[in-house]
Structure 1
């Protein structure tokens, strides 16, 4: 038996395998302990964000971001136990992050806009809005894009950055909104009687609010006669019902009062 070969083998095991095994065991312990710490940090961050009343969608994404970041740091720590140079590895990750960030700048901008939409709440699901060239009801506020259902039941997906960077008209924020219509009177119609009749009848339309009361006023004088503005107020959900019912009331009051059909009048004078 070659005792020298056995001694060399023992020396090889002591110099290489034992340290490697020790590092491997340490890496396993570090990975398990790090996983437990990451889970605890995520749980604590979720409780803290929930206590502050943050939106559930935002909490999910922030918790996921924290978990991924900590997991990357844990991988770097585990690699360092095996003597791998982690500084260059971290620099490579940073460079890759910059490159990906530049390539996906639009997506990141939409992500940031989605976070702001969730935090500041200029719009909510169910609101009727006009923004980014689209008018409709907000169906969903996503982290990258939002879904808006237009009045003709066409669903439109709008990038959050485009939505957040544009002027947002939210018709649902206030308790009521105004319906703007006009009524053209012919020459010879008693304007004051017409105003009184329209105010009374418009106020009786279902879902027209009592305060403020409907406005019926003179808008202008034109070749056909006097034009009135008819402006009832209603909740946004009843807007179109009040809009169409007001037109019907204008027609009905005109017919009951015997208003003639308005037409432009011209006066010709003979200078001879």
Structure 2
């Protein structure tokens, strides 16, 4: 009798299990095909925006947004295929969104700041900036953070909210920037001769802008003697090369001209 009951249950469950298995297999196929279609759509959208020469920053942002939206639609479609009421699911998602929003207010703040960065465009991909306390080249402006490659080749992701809440310096916005250097002279040095020699030698450093010309002026007087401000101008891409080569030019020029070494004056105390 027990064997008969078990056989009866198996006979009754078999169509249900087969139907569920077919639905599960169909859902897997839909998911795989859907993911493939999402990848195809995002690639086509990206290629279309590239042909239209849309800014890379806008491209990455829109592609990320489209990918997230299409994945949500795919999940809802699969749940509907299994007979889940999508309106109830939408209400559940809305309620969960409120709870998640309260818990992840920082992420939502980063998301909103990312939109402002996209609209206001204080910097673009490829610009050299200081943002959120990090200096380097912008690799990507994401939904929640910006990826910056620092001069020592460290990839750093900075939250967009932190960037929008602080100062942003964009060194690429203008065609040139000023390199700040100094040359310390001894008190007995011929200042006018030193200025003339430094202007001539520093002007020959590679990648220095001719307009504006190199500035060499007296910055201040200290206990060693006059201190000169040496300020060449160059593009951001050549900043550090100009910085180091100008320092070499200052040392070589003053040394070759025989300028005395600046030393601290000896204090004489009364006996």
Partner of 2:130, secondary structure, is strand
CA distance in 2, matches of 1:89, 1:196: 78
Cα distance in 1, alignment partners of residues 68 and 269 from structure 2? 83
- Number of aligned pairs? 225
Which structure 2 residues correspond to residues 145-164 of structure 1 after superposition, within 5 A? 145-164=145-164
Find the aligned partners of 1:249 and 1:216 in 2 and give their Cα distance: 13
Distance 2:104 2:92 in 1: 18
1:59 to 62, 65, 70: 62
1:168 shift after superposition: 0.9
Contact 2:213 2:232 in 1 (8 A): yes
For 2:69 and 2:241, locate their aligned partners in 1 and report how far apart those are by CA, in whole Å: 49
> How many Å apart are 1:120 and its aligned residue?
2.2
- Contact persistence 2:177–2:235 (CA under 8 A): yes
In structure 2, relative to structure 1, the CA distance for the partners of 1:85 and 1:128 (3 Å cut) is closer
SS at match of 1:99: helix
CA deviation map 1:105-127 (0-9, x unaligned): 22222222222222322122221
Q: Tell me, what secondary structure is at the counterpart of 1:186?
A: coil
Whole-Å Cα distance in 1 between the matches of residues 99 and 134 of structure 2?
A: 33
Q: 2 CA distance for matches of 1:89 and 1:264?
A: 78
- Give the C-alpha shift of residue 71 in structure 1: 8.3
Distance 2:92 2:73 in 1: 17
What are the within-5 Å matches in structure 2 for residues 66-85 of structure 1?
none
User: Taking structure 1 as the reference length, what is the TM-score of the superposition?
Assistant: 0.69
CA deviations 1:181-221 (Å, max 9, x no partner) are 11011121110011011011111111110111111010111
> Cα gap change, 1:265/1:143 in structure 2, threshold over 3 Å: closer, same or farther?
same
Question: C-alpha distance in 2, partners of 1:140/1:70?
Answer: 26
Change (3 A) 1:245 1:90: closer
In 1, the alpha carbon distance for the partners of 2:62 and 2:131 equals 26
Q: 1:67 to 1:192 in 2, by over 3 A?
A: same
Match of 2:115 in 1: 115
**Deviations 1:45-64, CA, capped at 9 Å, x for gaps:** x8xxx79x682233335545
The structure that has the greater radius of gyration is 1
Whether contact under 8 Å (1:225, 1:264) holds in the other structure is no
CA shift for structure 1 position 223 = 1.4
